[in-house]
Chain A
């Protein structure tokens, strides 16, 4: 009866549902300006998905709404529409669509777009994450965990390590709101994080470690900038973490059962 219900679109819809609290709080505090950014981002992403549907017969995916939310929330402020369109186009095409669409990409398209905008236009200030919006990341993560679309290891390791480091006074608490939002929106994406269980825990730990490292050593960087950079490097490292997990599994198997 339930067979066939878990398609790519089901996962995408559940991810969107998980991030709804975040979107609602952000729109409430951001006002019409935030809504306009979200609308613009969604429009650009929809246009590119349509182009790839017509040219390469790649099926459209609703997850674009989530990418739009991430870019609109985290992109530097005051960029104006054209720069935003350029950055989103780059992220969507180079980060996701050329690989064959959502599910085959290596890095989250929003991470690519945000990194592009950050490096390309360094003069623009990164946004501040309002505290109530950051609190909304907790229900978002919980819904993602309960529905099974966000990897437990990523959220668990990042939360545990982050809490421990903050408790020990190693991490500046000012980074935490941005770190939570980026964790839920970009790092805990089931496609861009590791696929194996140990790899997922390593992914979360790496994200927390990189965030802590950048927060301590990267002077003059905004919290969102720090966490987006950590998310980018974490996503790039995820395949290597999976490889490590598989290599350890194979080594254990060989040790127990001999060469098979």
Chain B
């Protein structure tokens, strides 16, 4: 019973409470680069989740046989093999989205989220919990990507999945697309806003301040 609860917690914790992107700020390079539309964000999310889950399971299976000194090389080789397979599948069946994602699928190899989970969790746990943890982290990453991608596409183009939702001025509607949303800085703003919102709702996630501002002289004199 307890192991089932543990598995559930392992799966659901990374969604919000231990979200890899908003709490640990891992994997944001790709999270910022591919979120100009929901379709690319979704494809990237699925790719990363599949790669992460499979490589975590594979590394966990051979965890007792990997020498410590070369563990990073072994992990990267396994992750890279999975990435190549996913990249080939995308090129074969989703050509257009594969071109839109350009190098970012290949860069999953160096995504710190993937290596972070394999190094921190899969190396010390049995294949099932490792795969569940990796899948949960993949879902947490996907959740952030989809939220940011949906906001950027909606505000930047007035559309979702390429279908017009808010009629834009060019099409005779009322909505003026916010061009800034399609540029890189907006992803930072949105991600920052998301982190802020989550930490306001869950104050235990916020870090202790590094500096305390000096007290005002008037207050200090009193």
Give me the interface of A with B, judged by CB distance under 8 Å.
Answer: 4, 7, 83, 90, 94, 98, 100, 104, 116, 119-122
Contacts and interface: CB of A to CB of B under 8 A. Distances in A.
A83 B176 contact: yes
Nearest to B189: A94
Given A83-B176, A94-B189, A98-B196, A119 B218 contact: no
B107 interface: no
Nearest to B216: A7
A5 B103 CA distance: 59
Interface string B193-222: 000100000000000000001001110010
B180 A116 contact: yes
A83 B183 CA distance: 18
B196 A120 contact: no
B218 A121 contact: no
Given A94-B189, A104-B213, A121 B196 contact: no
Contact of A119 (B179, B192, B196, B221): B179
Contacts of B25: none
Contacts of B221: 4
Among A104, A116, A120, A122, find the residue whose CB has the most chain B CB atoms closer than 10 A: A120
A7 B218 contact: yes
A136 B49 CA distance: 60
Contacts of A94: 189, 192
Contact of B218 (A4, A116, A120): A4
A119 B176 contact: no
Given A7-B218, A121-B178, 9 more contacts: A4-B221, A7-B216, A104-B213, A119-B179, A119-B180, A119-B183, A119-B185, A120-B179, A122-B179
Interface of B: 176, 178-181, 183, 185, 189, 192, 196, 213, 216-218, 221
A7 B221 CA distance: 14
Contacts of B176: 83, 121
B163 to A, nearest CB: 23
Contacts of A4: 217-218, 221
B179 A121 contact: yes
Contacts of B183: 119
A83 B176 CA distance: 9
13 contacts: A4-B218, A4-B221, A7-B216, A7-B218, A83-B176, A94-B192, A104-B213, A116-B180, A119-B179, A119-B185, A120-B180, A121-B178, A122-B179
Nearest to B196: A98
A79 to B, nearest CB: 9
A25 to B, nearest CB: 32
Nearest to B180: A120
Contacts of A121: 176, 178-179
A100 B212 CA distance: 12
Contacts of A119: 179-180, 183, 185
Q: Which 10 A-B pairs have the closest CB atoms?
A: A120-B180, A119-B180, A120-B178, A4-B218, A120-B179, A122-B179, A116-B180, A121-B176, A94-B189, A119-B183
A125 to B, nearest CB: 15
A185 B100 CA distance: 43
Contacts of B192: 94
Nearest to A119: B180
